[in-house]
Amino acid sequence: MALTTYSMLQTVIFLAMFWGTVAAEGPIRLYGGTSDKEGVVQVNVAGEWKNLCDQEWDALDALVTCRQLGFTDGYAMVWEGSRSYYDSGTDSVPTMEPPENFPVEKNNVACNGTEQSLLSCRYKKDIPYCSNFASVACGITTTKFHELLTHSHYYISGDTFLISPTTTPDNTSGRVLFLEAGSSIYTQIRVAGGICNIDEQTASLICNSHGYSNGGKAIQVPMIKNFPMVFSELSCKTGFNFYDCYEEYTTDGICPNGVLANGVECYTTVRPSVIGALAFAGVSSVFIIIAGAFGIHWIRRNAKMPTSTTMSLSVGDQGDATASQSLHPSA
């Protein structure tokens, strides 16, 4: 009995210590991480803690979350530790109430990166299904970021790029964001950030992958403080899919040559250059037809028609064909 009471007391003390480091006072907290800088993002709704769905959760959402929690030094990444949460034998994840036991409050959170509070970001309340929860890892140093880039193996596709709106409420124009498809076997962190420079073909591929079949163009959008840049350059000018692209990564999250084109503007209609080309081709065709008609009319009126010619063909003794021609004056 005494041993059981002692064990219970140890458990209570452990949970109290853990609760003090993870569940910070305020409207949001990180739950279930191995430190107070990582975990599942939860919001306080009328005194009840609720999860956020990870649909469209990206580096900007993580940045605003870490900023609100006071972690202004270092980069913000996406944490994947919640997926191993259900393994009771994992030493790196404390045994606590699984995050799935908490209700889900919102999904499709969309921050632009400048907000001071996660609750100021746009979101949706309708949640038909949530497979995973939004999570973050704050305070990632440049050294740690370089280590993540070294150990990560990227599978680049249209799904690994997001468009964060900057000037329009929809996703037709904005900052291009990268999110690693899955965390490395060496860490529970998914690399997330931006791109320093993309070319026109890359912009078109990204727009096409988001349903804009008319393509798009590369644009420059303002930089955000403490926002990590994953690629220093991404060029697809020699290919028609992401497999043919050339990638060059940063070493510390900073663009070595500055930011040139870090966003896209997708065309919702046929691109202007195509419209211009089609219009030019149409007008040119009309002029050609008109010119041809006038030319034929001029030839018929002004050309001297030859007199009628009669051609007779005879075969000589040697088998050679000889032709005799007689001209008859026209009447």
Task: Give the least confident one: 40-54, 123-137, 150-164, 275-289.
Answer: 275-289
Same domain, 49 and 91: yes
Instruction: Give the range with max mean pLDDT: 3-17, 87-101, 202-216, 288-302.
Output: 202-216
Q: Token digits for 167?
A: 């000037």
Same domain, 96 and 205: no
Residue 181's pLDDT is what? 79
pLDDT at residue 318 above 90? no
Same domain, 120 and 193: no
Q: What CATH number is attached to the domain comprising 121?
A: 3.10.250.10
The domain containing residue 195 runs over which residues?
A: 154-271
Per-residue pLDDT band at 280 (split at 50, 70, 90): very low
C-alpha to C-alpha distance for 242 and 246, rounded to whole angstroms: 9
Same domain, 26 and 61: yes
Kindly state whether residue 87 falls inside one of the protein's structural domains. Answer: yes
- Mean pLDDT across the stretch 206-219? 93
Kindly state whether residue 290 falls inside one of the protein's structural domains. Answer: no
- Average pLDDT of the chain is 76
Same domain, 23 and 58: yes
Same domain, 179 and 208: yes
pLDDT at residue 117 above 70? yes
C-alpha to C-alpha distance for 51 and 39, rounded to whole angstroms: 11
Same domain, 169 and 111: no
pLDDT at residue 312 above 70? no
Q: Token digits for 278?
A: 């089609």
Nearest one of 130, 75, 79, 82 to 108, comparing CA atoms: 130
What amino acid occupies position 330? S
pLDDT tens figures, 169-187: 666 889 999 998 775 556 7
Residue 169's pLDDT is what? 61
Q: Token digits for 269?
A: 């209609």
3-state SS assignment for residue 119: helix
pLDDT tens figures, 12-40: 333 333 333 343 558 999 998 889 999 99
Same domain, 93 and 134: yes
Same domain, 107 and 220: no
What amino acid occupies position 325? Q
C-alpha to C-alpha distance for 99 and 47, rounded to whole angstroms: 16
pLDDT at residue 85 above 70? no
C-alpha to C-alpha distance for 177 and 193, rounded to whole angstroms: 6
Kindly state whether residue 160 falls inside one of the protein's structural domains. Answer: yes
